Amino acid sequence: MRMAHAKKKKTSSHRQPGKKAVEEATAQVPKVQAKPAPGPITLCIDIGGTGLKAMLVDTKGKPVSERVRVETPKVPTPLQVLRKLDTLVKKLDKFDRVSVGFPGVIKRGVTYTAVNLHPAWYGFEFQKALEKRWKKPVRVANDASVQGYGAVKGVGVELTITLGTGMGSSLFTDGKLCPGLELGHHPWKKDKEYEDYLGKRGLDKYGKKHWNKLLLEAIEQTRKLFNWDHLYIGGGNAKKIDFKLPANVTVVSNEMGILGGVALWRY
């Protein structure tokens, strides 16, 4: 008997997910209703190494919805992250514009580094990809910069650091951002960087007690380096701090990384 041999169809990692797959993914995300608010509503997104968070925010930076979160894909390529973001958007009310905090260097909407995500992000036109996908105006910035916008008071020199999968940082002078600061990748203690000690790798390697000791040293080091008037510490691992902070050092809510997104539309 003659056997028919069909050619194996090539599949592409860039092919869009099927309707059933999208429906199953979105069904796992709770429906969120927005409160009535004047002016444009901003969809603020925070992209992290372990989670993708989103919230609707009014023009004053106040939330008008609950926060929605999904896990970051195990292989966080741009396409996989975009698909996950689609599941968040489908479960949120209408919005007028989008702000995104991304863990890496951003220039004119293009991602140039993503140490804790995937090499495919290098040189990816993230802002254009979202605008094409959602048909809304989009602004993308470094996640620590967005967190800083949500935390700073606009007086003097203010530094924000975020402690999560990696270590983010943003520096402000009288409320104006000094762009491009990547303190986490600055050499510290022999041949390693701040992030090697204070990011998740450092926490896992050295343990909570020694990690706290290193953080205290880093606070003093950054004080000498920047002469900051106030330091804000955010990120998921800020809750692991177990020593008394100086009066001009404040732990801020992790939601600042979302709420600060509306500030991207002030300039």
Contacts of 55 (CB under 8 A, 6+ apart): 43, 44, 63, 65, 66, 67, 68, 255, 258, 259
What would the pLDDT profile of 204-238 be if each residue is shown by its tens digit? 999 999 999 999 999 999 999 999 999 999 998 99
What would the pLDDT profile of 10-27 be if each residue is shown by its tens digit? 443 444 444 444 444 444
Contact predicate 124/76, CB 8 Å: no
pLDDT at 134: 96
Tell which CATH architecture fits domain 145-265: 2-Layer Sandwich (3.30)
What percent of the chain has a predicted confidence (pLDDT) above 90?
A: 73
Report angle CA 22, 23, 26 to the nearest 5 degrees: 85
Q: Can you give the residue ranges of every domain in the chain? A: 20-143, 145-265
Is 145-265 the same fold as 20-143? yes
Task: Name the fold adopted by 20-143.
Answer: Nucleotidyltransferase; domain 5 (3.30.420)
